[in-house]
Amino acid sequence: MTATALLFLSACESGMVFDRYGHVSERGWSKQDAVELSVPPLREGGVYEVKIGVRSTDDYPYRNISIIVQRQTFPSKVVHSDTVECKLTDDKGMRIGSGFINYQNSYDVALDHYKAGDSIYIVLKQNMRNEQVEGITDVGVSLRKVE
């Protein structure tokens, strides 16, 4: 079996239906800049685990980042919004997550109920006190069917 086939099978077994990242400007992530992602129509209805991923560098000056995760479902136009506090360092200020220079972390957002055929428009915005933060390179969303 080829590596591609194995990757496809493992993705199917895990229930993962969406996993995408959007790039943040190299000049920093401004409060006005949003990362927008579109989930195509879902094949099955059910309960989905929503997670966000954050990729950061040592240039990020804080221990955490607050991110607003807004999800609008179509065709119903129902909107869900959560603010997620993402811890990027331990209590001693050491970076956590996978990586050496660039770090990747994943955070739980919600368990959402969707119907077969629903598509989802997702907007991610930083919610820090500063207008612009440096050191965040990408943010993304994953959806995994759990029920």
Checking if the pLDDT of 9 tops 70, the result is no
- What's this model's pTM, rounded to 2 decimal places? 0.87
CB-CB neighbours of 16 under 10 Å = 14
Which comes out higher in pLDDT, residue 63 or 3?
Answer: 63
Secondary structure (DSSP) of 103-116: EEEEEEEEEEEE-T
Q: In what order do the strands lie in the sheet with 136-145?
A: 16-23, 136-145, 46-57, 102-114
Tell me, which fold does domain 17-145 have in CATH?
Answer: Jelly Rolls (2.60.120)
Q: Quick: pLDDT tens for 70-116.
A: 999 999 999 999 999 999 999 998 888 888 778 999 999 999 999 99
Residue 14 pLDDT = 84
Per-residue DSSP letter, 98 = B
Give domain limits for the chain.
17-145
